[in-house]
Chain A
């Protein structure tokens, strides 16, 4: 990703949509995320304990799902000039189980000016679905994008 190239604020339109390929979430993803984050909650790490739970098995960290979604869409959308992530609102709607295949969709829903000349804010709605078409996560992300110079 080159921050000095890519689409400018003017090039992005409300209604632009993107869809990512699928990615199967594996046991390795969960184990690596637990190690990296230090979040060893039994929900994600103790298969025996989880047999007695509502889910019957280990589930992925919600933040792993959010992070996988981010990577899937980053590879599916054109680069945006100078982009900075400024905020998000997110809901975890359903569990992600080992072997589930996720894909993500995004749509630009708003563009607005900011106090900083040379920058605009783009708002995107996003959904993460599993292989059964069930919505597992959704939310709204806000990004600062550079305006075209001159």
Chain B
């Protein structure tokens, strides 16, 4: 029986170095800012300002909407990030990312991903490098439970 198309996932072996992936965009609204501010308990003084962490937080969801199967990430290990220009309510942001390196380990592999957040004027708003632990493709007939990395 053929596997369902919806079962398709990307594993460490499938990560293409240097392949550029672009996500759809999302327009930043007062609602995003109010929800985020309420959740973390801190709001900017300027009502049109977007908290610096908000585009970063939205970028993970944008990645899920990009037109390729999801990468089986076992753990988000860490990242470096720069905040280059402020985002304003009404801006539309999208992510452009590519994998820079990958290194096989005993449990999965480590992938360094460069991720940039651009606005509707193609200006770089924020960007950096993320270190991800990605699952290896399982042997036929088995699938790894995400989160089982040592």
Binding site for B on A (CB under 8 A): 1-3, 29, 32-33, 36-43, 49-50, 52-55, 59, 61-64, 66-68, 70-72, 74-75, 84-92, 139
Binding site for A on B (CB under 8 A): 26, 32, 35-36, 39-46, 52-53, 56-58, 60-65, 73, 75-83, 86, 145-150
Tell me whether A91 and B147 are in contact (CB under 8 A): no
Residues from chain B with Cβ under 8 Å of A72 in the complex: 41
Tell me whether B42 and A92 are in contact (CB under 8 A): no
Interface SS of chain B: mixed
Complex-state Cα separation, A50 to B45, whole angstroms: 40
Tell me whether B83 and A84 are in contact (CB under 8 A): yes
Tell me whether B80 and A1 are in contact (CB under 8 A): no
Tell me whether A86 and B77 are in contact (CB under 8 A): no
Tell me whether B146 and A88 are in contact (CB under 8 A): no
Tell me whether A90 and B79 are in contact (CB under 8 A): yes
**10 tightest A-B contacts by CB?**
A38-B61, A71-B40, A53-B147, A91-B78, A71-B41, A74-B42, A39-B60, A37-B61, A85-B52, A71-B42
Complex-state Cα separation, A94 to B65, whole angstroms: 27
Contacting residue for A42 out of B35, B42, B146, CB 8 A = B146
Q: Which chain B residue has the least Cβ–Cβ distance from A144?
A: B83
Interface centre among B40, B44, B62 (most CB of A within 10 A): B40
Complex-state Cα separation, A42 to B143, whole angstroms: 14
Tell me whether B57 and A63 are in contact (CB under 8 A): yes
Given A39-B63, A40-B64, A90-B79, output 4 extra A-B contacts at Cβ < 8 Å.
A33-B39, A36-B39, A67-B39, A87-B83
Tell me whether B77 and A41 are in contact (CB under 8 A): no
Tell me whether A90 and B78 are in contact (CB under 8 A): yes
Tell me whether B58 and A53 are in contact (CB under 8 A): no
Tell me whether A92 and B44 are in contact (CB under 8 A): no
Tell me whether A86 and B39 are in contact (CB under 8 A): no
List 14 contacting pairs A-B, 8 Å CB cutoff, sorted by A: A3-B45, A33-B39, A38-B64, A39-B63, A40-B64, A53-B146, A54-B148, A63-B57, A63-B60, A66-B53, A71-B42, A87-B80, A89-B78, A89-B81
